[in-house]
Each structure stands twice: as structure tokens, then as C-alpha cells.
């Protein structure tokens, strides 16, 4: 895969020399960007397990993102999906975060990528996922 640099306001996304990942150089977050991110939906517990086992080339130690981390790839200028340019695999669906809902421990915050709306969802329902890891500088 060739190196792809995208200049965005306050962001520089790099498609690394590994298929299926995108690096946000502003946050140092390495995001999974694979077909699974469009097609795969599972419960919160299954998604947590999936990310912990994910390996993409030399990259491992993936996890589900926090709500704040997931929010960094939302672009409200885009619609269907409302994600930053440079991400090739995003569905107009709800994606998991690990941020718990304060009023109910059986629910966590999510973001719907269609419009970038945040909401609270129960952990036992199936939602889409996007794994992430922090890259050491």
C-alpha cells in the first residue's frame, strides 16, 4: 500500500505501509480502517474481545476507543458517514466507545457515524466497532 498523506484542518492522517490502518498524527492514535468497520456488528463484550485480539501487520494492542477518542474522527462537514476524509471503511451505523454511562453501568456512550450523534446504548446489543491504539512517539 502506498503512503497517503492527507492535510486536514488540525489533522494529518497517514495511511501507513500496512493495509487497514490510519494514523492520526495529531492524536498519535492508530485506527483500524478495514472492511470489518463497515460490516461487523457485535455486542460490547464481543467487540472488546475482538479488539484485544486484533493484529494488523506489526500492529497489535488494539482496544475500543473512549468517547473522546472516537469523537476525534468525526467531521460534521461530512454526512453519511460523518467521518474524517481518509477513512475508507465507515458505515452509517452506531459505533462503540468504552466510556460508561454514569447513570447505568450496563450502558456505554456510542457515536452514530451517519451524522456524528452521540447516544447511550446497552452493552448487550450489537453495534459496529473501530479499534484503536496509541502510538508511542
Per-residue pLDDT for the chain (137 aa), expressed as one digit of tens each? 333 334 343 344 544 445 689 999 899 999 999 988 899 999 999 999 999 999 988 889 999 999 999 999 999 999 999 999 889 999 999 999 999 999 999 999 999 999 999 999 999 999 999 999 999 86
The pLDDT assigned to 136 comes to: 81
CA 137 → CA 11, 28, 49, 107, 131, distances in Å?
16, 8, 26, 33, 19
pLDDT tens digits for range 5-28: 343 433 445 444 456 899 998 999
- Beta strand extents in 9-123 (DSSP E only): 11-15, 21-24, 29-32, 41-42, 94-101, 104-112, 117-122
Instruction: Return d(Cα 95, Cα 87) in angstroms, integer.
Output: 14
* Fold annotation for 4-134: Mannose-Binding Protein A; Chain A (3.10.100)
The predicted model scores a pTM of 0.85
Please choose, from the candidates 75, 116, 70, the residue with its C-alpha nearest in 3D space to the C-alpha of residue 92. Answer: 116
DSSP 88-103: ----SSEEEEEEEETT
Amino acid at each position: 500500500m502506498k503512503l497517503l498523506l492527507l492535510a486536514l484542518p488540525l489533522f494529518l492522517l497517514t495511511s501507513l505501509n500496512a493495509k487497514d490502518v490510519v494514523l492520526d498524527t495529531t492524536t498519535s492514535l492508530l485506527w483500524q480502517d478495514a472492511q470489518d468497520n463497515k460490516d461487523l456488528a457485535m455486542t460490547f463484550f464481543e467487540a472488546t474481545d475482538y479488539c484485544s485480539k486484533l493484529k494488523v501487520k506489526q500492529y497489535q494492542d488494539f482496544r475500543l476507543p473512549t468517547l473522546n477518542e472516537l469523537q476525534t474522527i468525526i467531521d460534521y462537514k461530512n454526512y453519511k458517514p460523518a467521518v474524517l476524509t481518509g477513512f475508507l471503511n465507515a458505515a452509517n451505523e452506531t459505533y462503540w466507545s468504552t466510556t460508561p454511562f454514569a447513570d447505568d453501568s450496563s450502558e456505554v456512550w456510542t457515536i452514530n457515524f451517519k451524522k456524528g450523534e452521540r447516544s447511550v446504548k446497552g452493552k448487550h446489543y450489537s453495534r459496529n466497532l473501530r479499534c484503536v491504539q496509541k502510538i508511542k512517539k
